[in-house]
Structure 1
Amino acid sequence: MAIAQLLFPLSHLALILSLVPALLTLVHFLIWLIDPHGLRSFPGPWLARFSDLWLGRVAQQGHRSEVVHEMHKKYGTFVRIAPNHLSISDPAALQIVYAHGSGSLKSNFYDAFVSITRGLFNTRDRVAHTRKRKIISHIFSQKNVLEFEPYVKDYVRSFIHQWDRLCAGGAKGLQGDDGEGGWRGRDGRTWLDCLPWFNYLAFDIIGDLAFGSPFGMIAAAKDSAPVAKSHAQGISVYGQDSGKCETVSIPAIQILNDRGEYSASMGVLPPWLRPVVKRYIPWYSRGSDAVKNLAGLAVAAVAKRLASPAYRSDLLSKLQEGKDEDGNPMGRAELTAEALTQLIAGSDTTSNSSCAITYYVAANPNVQRKLQQELDGALQDEDDIASSFEAVKNLPYLNAVINEALRMHSTSGIGLPRLIPEGGMTIQDHFFKEGTVLSVPSYTIHRDREVWGEDAADYRPERWFERDQDTIQRVFNPFSYGPRACVGRNLAILELLIIVSSIFRRYEVVLEHPEEPLATSEGFLRKPLRCAVGIRRRST
């Protein structure tokens, strides 16, 4: 009897569980039928009309920008990529969806990027964002960014010293171990994967600027950084006690990549589903661990810096000095979260862009030759192996080379989702209701033939001198647009100008496999997977 009583409720439970898929399907169908946001008439993949799972799967597979681009080629300007998410490939929509005064808000996609506490990037509330931006934006003014130039040049010099050493070894036919990226000498060149080296460079630069000391990746030629074992301990300790923050080493670059893939995939899922997949699907569980480890890295670095608060003009010191309109500084957790934001925004983006630029210049020998001619003429009187920003900032072909690579390989190629505010929004005579999610994919508008020409799929810096400047500047979108645009744009441009000019002034670079396209994978950012090149010192 007791066994029968036990089995009876279990059978009911099994019946209920078996009905869950049918109930979920019915709910999604009813939402599609009711059409609360008026999107039913727009085309798109069949599953995307009913469920967020289509976009979730696409995001997880790592090629969202390319897939959405193909959907636009198939369906046209408007593509429904989720039940309440419309992708719009009209370049003019940038000015409407993201502009100052549009009133659009970040969607719940950004909730998946919160770790310590909300930072400038993932704050969705307009008032809170205005407060944070007021504190942070002045830090990245051109005047302040120029104070960071000596730090950038120091690490570019260290990078070049390492490559000079590898070039010397490669000229002798030597080879390195895997700890140095597995370089080898052949045919008078040193062959290596340049992506890890750009990662080391970018992490050391932003580590120094955001936390007061580098991670030592260039010197060690290794992906390693300290992370706090306990976030709560690291945030709570202060002053002399900050030294008690116990740490372990982690592969920070890999952790950052895992975190981006996880958060970008989690963010497109409905909020109620996120705890479920994080708990029961191993891929998401590993991503959740990456979020915690990356937060721990920031906790450990800030704790170390505040334990010996010698003043230096860098991002962290300026974040500490910043105050809101009421005169209040950031609290410890907020300070740590913003330092982490700068680490994420200033490392992956710079390394990915540097790698992509190197790939495209190496793939186009005529471009490399013209660039080096311009650099030789402009820098002939400079002895420093690291170029100065003042000497290269206005070089037209250098800027065209960089901009064209950023067009072809925008680190943020996905359409950043925005929630339409009260009053709605009209695009191409289509009215969109409050609460509708819209996005404009940078990857697609950077390939718009009407804007960039019939050869928009090709890398050709000369187009920057041929096309109408007002038109292309309105569409060129590597740093996003409007009040939520990247505050670190000035620093990113300074870094790229110094890095690219210094490298191609000193080295001749060729691709090991020129017939192969640049392989990429996309989380929140679109990153190269590998870039095998042969380098040697130039004779000039």
Structure 2
Amino acid sequence: MGISSQIVERVKSLDVTTLLLLLPAAVILVHVIAWLLDPRGVRAYPGPWLARFTDLWLGRVAAKGHRSEVVHELHKRYGTFVRLAPNHVSIADPAALQVVYAHGNGSLKSNFYDAFVSIQRGLFNTRDRTAHARKRKIVSHIFSQRNVLEFEPYVREYVRTFLQQWDRLCDGGAKGLRGDDGEGGWEGREGRVWLDCLPWFNYLAFDIIGDLAFGSPFGMLQAAKDSAPVAKDTTQAISSYGEDKAEYEVVHIPAVKILNDRGEYSASMGVLPPWVRPFVKRYIPWYSKGGKAVQNLAGLAVAAVAKRLSNPSYRVDLLSKLQEGKDDEGKPMSREELTAEALTQLIAGSDTTSNSSCAITYYLATNPRCQKKLQTELDAALENDDDPVSMFEVVKKLPYLEAVINESLRLHSTSAIGLPRIVPEGGLTVLGRSFPEGTVLSVPSYTIHRDTEVWGDDAEDFRPERWFERDSEAIQRTFNPFSFGPRACVGRNLANMELLVIISSIMRRYSIVLENPEKHFDTSEGFLRKPLECKVGIKRRS
């Protein structure tokens, strides 16, 4: 055991009182001295006073769930460059995207991503360049446009179930009935059914990605309930993997809630110094709950993959294509690695779709003019189509639909924080400023998506027409909902297809208004920025 490991183990054995005395001293020793020495020359950059000395300032901000908004206000106050931690500089300029996240610049993901590892490192949280290249080679082709088209029938099947459920509620609403279907319940009045649409988008997204990633849905849409099976003991379940059968105890959990807890936990844990993380997990209840959420999500993936592998299927989905994938040496993924990647797809494919669908619905309900304009476009394009679920090949060509989705993703990027990257050997020059090796840099999507020089003076407003009026080249350089460079989201084709089919199907079929037009669109941010609720009134269009 190394000296540092021995120190950690000895510190763990200390009582709480002693730790409370030692931790402030350790912060002073490590961070104040580092600030005085300023080895990377970032002391001159402005920012919060406490952030000069310790990562704990950013950890506290992240734990409160509004990191992007706080960082945005700092950039409005201090300008383009803001210091968020002793060795972390945020750069709010679209031109910085092309440098910090560029192909071939040698930058790596920071230790922020270590907090997202559960079963083993997957494509998202792998920091080693060689390991990432191997995984991306196996995974990226799965999300080619051709393969995504093979997934469309599954997506349309669950959108159809979604519409059937909402039709049922609309029938009840028209009669003035009320019920408790789903979280938040529903009631009929004024010729509409009033409900929180967020849980329904969660059910839809989880069932779609559950089917694609694991071979069967979680059944949330049919049950109108947040519930999914997990392996109670992940280690036991993994060890029981067999060619024909895997035996382990299964329990049911509220998967959407667990996923939210996990995102908040990992995003706030990831910005803390690595040496602090074991102590906060042990002594702070909020972090302990988050650690349990990480275990539960791993158990969900283990149970779903084990079930699928013990019952072979010839259907075409994400898991089957992951099984087919091979690296440069012709080696397929191990079962443990396969499970880790399937979990990555579940997390990435559920949250992003549900959050974005909810945000788009909110903006259209808030802006009746835009909703009407979109419905006119959909009616003209789908006039003779009796199927309530739109075909991707038709709706992907509709310009206003695309503008509505893009404008919503601009204002509500699911990944809005600045994703941290480590400056490589030889340093990096960004906007004329030189940063030495080891400095952590990030570019906040939330802020650059509100840059008035690119988007106009009304950048805070939802106005899809700007996508036809503004400099298209500048927009494409700035629009960053799926990140940029070699670590960009590999599933953007699938996400794009899902959103086009979901939004066009819903807006063609229903008229939607907000229950309270004056209510702010409340969100909470972990790694992703999530709506907290979206109460709307819906009715069938004639």
Common fold: TM-score over 0.5: yes
1:61-100 alignment runs, 5 A limit:
61-100=64-103
In 2, distance between residues paired with 1:523 and 1:274?
17
Deviation at 1:13, TM superposition (A): 12
In 2, distance between residues paired with 1:534 and 1:461?
23
In 2, distance between residues paired with 1:425 and 1:148?
41
Query: Does residue 416 of the first structure (1) align with residue 419 of the second (2)?
Result: yes
Query: Does residue 383 of the first structure (1) align with residue 390 of the second (2)?
Result: no
In 2, distance between residues paired with 1:159 and 1:52?
44
* Other structure's SS at 2:272 match: coil
Query: Does residue 400 of the first structure (1) align with residue 389 of the second (2)?
Result: no
Deviation at 1:237, TM superposition (A): 2.6
In 2, distance between residues paired with 1:290 and 1:184?
32
- Equivalent residue, structure 2, for 1:340: 343
Any conservation in 1 of the 2:170–2:540 contact (CA below 8 Å)? yes
User: Of 483, 486, 493, which residue of structure 1 is paired with 2:489?
Assistant: 486
- Equivalent residue, structure 2, for 1:497: 500
Query: Does residue 470 of the first structure (1) align with residue 459 of the second (2)?
Result: no
In 1, distance between residues paired with 2:281 and 2:181?
34
1:101-124 CA distance string (max 9 Å, x none): 111100000000000000000000
Aligned letter for 1:442? S
In 2, distance between residues paired with 1:56 and 1:498?
38
1:487-524 CA distance string (max 9 Å, x none): 00000000000000000000000000111121000000
Query: Does residue 132 of the first structure (1) align with residue 128 of the second (2)?
Result: no
* Other structure's SS at 2:112 match: helix
Q: Which runs of 5+ in 2 are unaligned?
A: 1-14
- Equivalent residue, structure 2, for 1:309: 312
Deviation at 1:185, TM superposition (A): 0.1
- Equivalent residue, structure 1, for 2:5: none
Q: Which runs of 5+ in 1 are unaligned?
A: 1-11
In 2, distance between residues paired with 1:294 and 1:21?
34
In 2, distance between residues paired with 1:15 and 1:510?
57
1:187-233 CA distance string (max 9 Å, x none): 00000000000000000000000000000000000000000012122
Deviation at 1:384, TM superposition (A): 1.1
Aligned letter for 1:253? V
Deviation at 1:430, TM superposition (A): 0.8
- Equivalent residue, structure 1, for 2:539: 536
Moved over 6 A (4+): 12-17
In 1, distance between residues paired with 2:90 and 2:300?
35
Deviation at 1:308, TM superposition (A): 0.6
Aligned letter for 1:183? W
Deviation at 1:293, TM superposition (A): 0.2
- Equivalent residue, structure 2, for 1:60: 63
Identity %: 76
Against the structure 1 CA distance between its residues 23 and 293, is the aligned structure 2 distance closer, same or farther, given a 3 Å change threshold? closer
Any conservation in 2 of the 1:181–1:221 contact (CA below 8 Å)? no
Aligned letter for 2:61? V
What's the TM-score, normalizing by structure 2? 0.96
Query: Does residue 192 of the first structure (1) align with residue 195 of the second (2)?
Result: yes
In 1, distance between residues paired with 2:205 and 2:285?
30
Query: Does residue 294 of the first structure (1) align with residue 314 of the second (2)?
Result: no
* Other structure's SS at 1:185 match: strand
Deviation at 1:427, TM superposition (A): 1.1
Any conservation in 1 of the 2:197–2:535 contact (CA below 8 Å)? yes
In 2, distance between residues paired with 1:375 and 1:17?
62
* Other structure's SS at 1:242 match: coil
Against the structure 1 CA distance between its residues 23 and 521, is the aligned structure 2 distance closer, same or farther, given a 3 Å change threshold? closer
Any conservation in 1 of the 2:27–2:54 contact (CA below 8 Å)? no
1:316-368 CA distance string (max 9 Å, x none): 00000000000000001100000000000000000000000000001000000
* Other structure's SS at 1:92 match: helix
- Equivalent residue, structure 1, for 2:372: 369
- Equivalent residue, structure 1, for 2:4: none
In 1, distance between residues paired with 2:233 and 2:60?
33
Query: Does residue 439 of the first structure (1) align with residue 442 of the second (2)?
Result: yes
- Equivalent residue, structure 2, for 1:457: 460
In 2, distance between residues paired with 1:24 and 1:259?
27
What's the TM-score, normalizing by structure 1? 0.96
RMSD: 1.5
In 1, distance between residues paired with 2:39 and 2:280?
26
1:208-357 alignment runs, 5 A limit:
208-239=211-242, 241-357=244-360
Any conservation in 2 of the 1:234–1:242 contact (CA below 8 Å)? no
In 1, distance between residues paired with 2:246 and 2:19?
54
